[in-house]
Amino acid sequence: MAFATRLGPLTSELVEAVTHVSSQRHPERHKHHRDVVLRKLKSHPFLRTNQFDVANTLDGLEERFRVNNRDDLADSLHERLEKLQDVSTKWHPEILFLLLELSDQPTFNTEFTDLELLRQSEEDDAPAMRWETIAKEDGWDQDAELWKSIKYSDSSDDELSYANTADGSDSLSETDPSDAEGPIRTTGDKIVHPEDESLFNSVRESQSWRTAKPATDASGRIRKVGVSEAHVLREVLFMLQGLDTTLFDRNIVPVPSFQISHITWDTHRALINTFAEFGRRLAPLRKFMKKSQDLAHIQAFQDSIGSHLLDFDQKLSEIHARLACPQKDEVVSLMALRIELTPWLRPLHALADVVTGMKDASDSGAFRHLELLYQGATLAQSSEDTPIYVSLARVFVECFNVYLRPIRLWMDEGKLQTGGSFFIYETSAELTLGRIWSDRFKFRTGVDGGLHAPGFLQPAASKIMNAGKNIVVLKRLEYQSILRHVEEEEPPLDYDSICPAGFEFAPFPDLFAASFERWIQSKYRSTSTTLKTALFEQCALFSNLDSLERLYFMSDGSASTIFHEAIFAKINSLDPSWRSRYFLTAIVQEAFGALLDADRLSATVDKLGMDESPTSARDSVRSVLPHVKLDYRLTWPVQMILSSTSMENYQKIFSLLLQFKRAAYELHKPKILDYYWTDHEDWEARALYYSCRTRILWFCNTMQNYISTLVLTPHLLEMRQKLREAQDVDALIVVHDTFVKNIVDGVCLGARLEPIRECMSDIMDLAIKLEQSNAGNTTLEVLNEIQKDFERHLRFITEGLRSVARAKGDSQSARWDTLAEMLQMGNSR
């Protein structure tokens, strides 16, 4: 009953704390919530936590610590469990059970150093020792005489001394002892007594011009404050050092109230404005030095500017020292100062122009200083300004070598530096390994669409990109030869190597381009050669090309005959089962299994081909045959060279050859002797039939002969030779893409030859129509129509080929002319 009495108020407090529903403001809602919670608590089936299970779990946790080599945690846990037994309460099992439930893989996620934080918190909780506590413990906190100030005087009258200090003793006794340490300083202690007051007065008098107010002459005109040339020179030196002066305001504009005493106003104004212009041109440099830069190559530029400014400031300090403590007779002259400082100021002014130009850059701000330094050095050399050329060229080389760090990391290790300043980035899209070369890494472009890199670097950008991609691909291939190029020492890219002695008259862009090309080739050539060797030997590039040649170009007549005759027989029997991918794959693997890896080969008919009726498939080469697709799965390194577009063109060539095979298959079915005894019954129609058959068959054979001997064979030989001569993967891709394009144009599959290709399909359909008419009762009118259609289509083909050949006028045009001659000669027989 006592437990129920305590449970009610506790539940009420719990409900109010969780739901924020007060029993006074909302008594009904509060009572409802409390009753629901009470019913749950009174009827819950759970007992108290089993303390023995908790102990076993903790023992198991300690053992797990030791098994996983975490003896430090095991010892600490054991020590604290023993201490916990000394202060045991009935709620310890519940607390320990809660901690165990809240834990998340303590064996791996717990750091032993976290225990030190617990010890520190215990030490922090300990009370700090204070002087008040010590005084109270020792009993001298009430000793007022202890804190009295002692006045040391010539009088020996103790009573008088005591009387003078009695009033202040109470207040002093309340002062913190720590505040009473050391002698008390007064205002008088801060008074400085000059040792040589006459010298001080002379200095103050010499600087009185700074605070002097301009006087007026008899006519009421305001006169200038006269200043000696020595003071003006000193002010100029301070101004050039970036310090505040009296003669120049914060914008480095001369204050018009002052004038050099012994010269006219116009001369003073011209001279002082000259130095003011010097200072204004230096101001961007000093302002740039105060800014924090994030990019390393801009920090290098900032450091180079700082080095030049430091040398200049040291020069100014030398002039200060020379005039302040002259070792010989010195003439104070602003004109002499101008002549002396001009060689030091000109390089700084050139750097200031670069800094000013950086402000105008928006998208190219990350490397704009490199372009400006490069252009400035080139312009200075062309102007025969050797000091400025050498200065800017050296700064450029220093900054460029820092800019080169992410390029070196990319070319040596195939890694991209974090951040968005590098002009190469990795796409985030999920790509297959076959697209790792073409689509994984891209050039970063600016708002204008150009490469986000300095202009002088853009000619070498593709080689930089390819060198890093070479490393990435070789790592994927686990090719050990990748380490060879790392051991080679790269050529230096310092000023002395870029601009060697004896080449002073060589253009700086040419010198830099030659040196940078040597540096690129030291990394690029070795990786490109290694990857090319890996593609040829380890990845069997030529073997895969041979397989594609046999499969898509039907270079092996025996295998291709087995494949297409099995299909054509099914088509003629109107059996739609041949479109099954299982049937097609079985046939193509059986036909080509001895020539290539059959497990990587399959064949299907796409959805459009599946929708065609068996009759249309039989009656036309256009209906289903273009939808028969061969798929030869290449390894991903070979897929880098053979793009998806190239494979689509392979498929188009295969479809064209399959259509010619279909027409020739139909024309070869009937034999002359089969109709030997019946031909004389209608000899005119039979003669016309044989004439049409011969001419169409000749057309199909001529086209196949042209494709194999004048198109495929020479281009295949040329491609293989160029692949061996290629320098890198990009060159391999270009060679193969060019080969496929030439093949497509040669076999009349190009967009410009589409009408000619349609006429060829019409002639092949005439072959099927001719054989179908031969199977039935052929009339002379049908045969005459077939003959006229053939002649019309053939004439269009020959004239079209010649027309396109004349319009294009290249090596491929000669082949089209040859084909037109072959077709015309055969038709005239």
Half-sphere exposure in the Cβ direction for 401 (13 Å, CA)? 16
The helix (H) or strand (E) run that includes residue 606 is none
Give whole-number Cα distances, 191 to 185, 187, 194, 646, in Å.
12, 7, 10, 94
Give the span between the Cα atoms of 66 and 71, in whole angstroms.
Answer: 5
Residue 49 is given by DSSP the state -
Q: Looking at the predicted structure, is the pLDDT value of residue 476 above 70?
A: yes
| Residues linked to residue 222 through DSSP beta bridges, in sequence order | 216
Band of pLDDT at residue 175, cut at 50, 70 and 90: very low
Farthest CA pair distance, the chain: 171
Please report how the helices 334-359 and 229-240 are oriented relative to each other, as an axis angle in degrees rounded to 10.
Answer: 20
Q: What is the pLDDT of residue 161?
A: 42
For the chain, give the mean pLDDT.
82
Tokens of 687: 């003669």
Q: Is the pLDDT reported for residue 77 higher than 60?
A: yes
**pLDDT tens per residue across span 621-653:** 998 999 999 999 999 999 999 988 999 999 999
Residue 505 has pLDDT above 70, yes or no: yes
DSSP letter at 602 equals E
Band of the pLDDT at 172, cuts 50, 70, 90? very low
Return the pLDDT at 809: 73
| pLDDT, position 699 | 92
Higher pLDDT, 98 or 400: 400
pTM above 0.95, yes or no: no
Q: What is the pLDDT of residues 666-702, one digit of tens each?
A: 888 755 545 544 545 566 777 788 888 889 999 999 9
**Least confident span in 47-61, 133-147, 614-628:** 133-147
Token pair of 658 as six digits: 């399959």
Contact predicate 465/422, CB 8 Å:
no
Give the pLDDT confidence of 550-563 residue by residue, as tens digits: 999 999 989 999 99
Range among 128-142, 558-572, 796-810 rated most confident? 558-572
Report, in angstroms and rounded to the nearest whole number, the Rg of the chain calculated over CA atoms.
49
Contact between 657 and 760 (Cβ < 8 Å):
no
In degrees and rounded to multiples of 5, residue 390 shows phi and psi of -65, -40
pLDDT band for position 109 (50/70/90)? confident
The arithmetic mean of pLDDT across residues 401-418, rounded, is: 88
Q: What is the mean pLDDT of residues 476-493?
A: 68
Q: How distant, in Å, are the alpha carbons of 26, 334, 356, 558, 639 from that of 280?
A: 76, 18, 12, 87, 61
Task: Write the pLDDT tens digit of every residue in 64-75.
Answer: 888 778 888 888
User: Mean of the pLDDT values across residues 242-253?
Assistant: 86
**CA 230 vs CA 205, 208, 338, 772: distances in Å:** 15, 14, 14, 117
d(CA 275, CA 281) in angstroms, rounded, equals: 10
Q: What is the pLDDT of residues 738-764, one digit of tens each?
A: 999 999 999 999 888 899 999 999 999
Three state DSSP letters for 764-812: HHHHHHHHHHHHCCCCHHHHHHHHHHHHHHHHHHHHHHHHHHHHHCCHH
**3-state SS, residue 621:** coil
Yes or no: say if 764 and 797 are a contact pair by the CB < 8 Å rule.
Answer: no
CA–CA dist 652, 552 (Å, integer): 9
Residue 707 confidence (pLDDT): 93
Query: How far, in Å, CA of 656 to CA of 494, rounded?
Result: 60
Token pair listed for 427? 């796409």
pLDDT tens for 435-461 read 899 888 998 887 777 888 888 988 899
Task: List CB contacts of 66: < 8 A, sequence separation 6 or more.
Answer: 74
Mean pLDDT of 12-26: 81
End-to-end alpha carbon distance in the chain: 124
Nearest in space to 653 (alpha carbons), one of 713, 731, 740: 740
pLDDT of residue 413: 86
All residues at 6 or more sequence positions from 342 whose CB lies less than 8 Å from its CB, including other chains: none
Give the three-state DSSP class for 725.
helix
Question: 507-516, pLDDT tens digit by residue?
Answer: 999 999 999 9
Kindly indicate the confidence band of residue 490, based on its pLDDT and cuts at 50, 70 and 90. confident
Q: What integer is the mean pLDDT of 145-168?
A: 49
8-22, 109-123, 303-317, 581-595: segment of lowest average pLDDT: 109-123
Residue whose token pair is 């050797």: 386
pLDDT band at 138 (very low <50, low <70, confident <90, very high): low
Closest CA to 227 of 218, 219, 236, 216: 236
| Fold classified for 643-829 | Four Helix Bundle (Hemerythrin (Met), subunit A) (1.20.120)
Measured CA to CA in angstroms, residue 585 lies from 248, 578, 635, 653, 710 at distances of 91, 10, 19, 19, 31
Which comes out higher in pLDDT, residue 568 or 206? 568
Say how many C-beta atoms besides its own lie within 10 A of residue 632's C-beta. Answer: 21
Q: What is the pLDDT of residue 164?
A: 44
| Percentage above 90 pLDDT, the chain | 31
Out of 37-41, 220-224, 592-596, 632-636, least confident range: 220-224
Which residue reads 């496929």 in tokens? 740
Q: How far is the C-alpha of 144 from the C-alpha of 162, rounded, in Å?
A: 13
pLDDT band at 361 (very low <50, low <70, confident <90, very high): low
Q: List the Cα angle 556/559/560 in 5-degree steps.
A: 80
Mean pLDDT for the stretch of residues 399-405: 91
CA distance 253 to 245: 11
Under DSSP, is residue 742 helix (H, G, I), strand (E, B) or coil?
A: helix
Highest mean pLDDT among 27-36, 150-159, 239-248, 716-725: 716-725
Provide the pLDDT for residue 563: 92
Does the structure show a pLDDT above 50 at 178? Answer: no
Provide the pLDDT confidence category of residue 158 given band limits of 50, 70 and 90: very low
Compute φ and ψ for 441, nearest 5 degrees.
Answer: -115, 135
Place of tokens 């102007």: 383
Could you tell me the two tokens for 113?
Answer: 């150093």
Structure tokens at 253: 């504009």
pLDDT at position 147: 62
> Who has greater pLDDT, 627 or 771?
627
pLDDT the model gives residue 108: 76
The whole-number pLDDT of residue 162 equals 39
Sequence-separated contacts (24+) of 130-133 with Cβ below 8 Å? 131/176, 131/177, 131/178
Range scoring the smallest mean pLDDT among 175-184, 216-225, 757-766: 175-184
Q: How far apart are CA 441 and CA 182, in angstroms?
A: 72
Contact (Cβ atoms closer than 8 angstroms) between residue 804 and residue 752: yes
Distance CA 639, CA 438 (A): 10
Q: What one-letter code names the amino acid at 788?
A: K
Average pLDDT over residues 531-539: 90
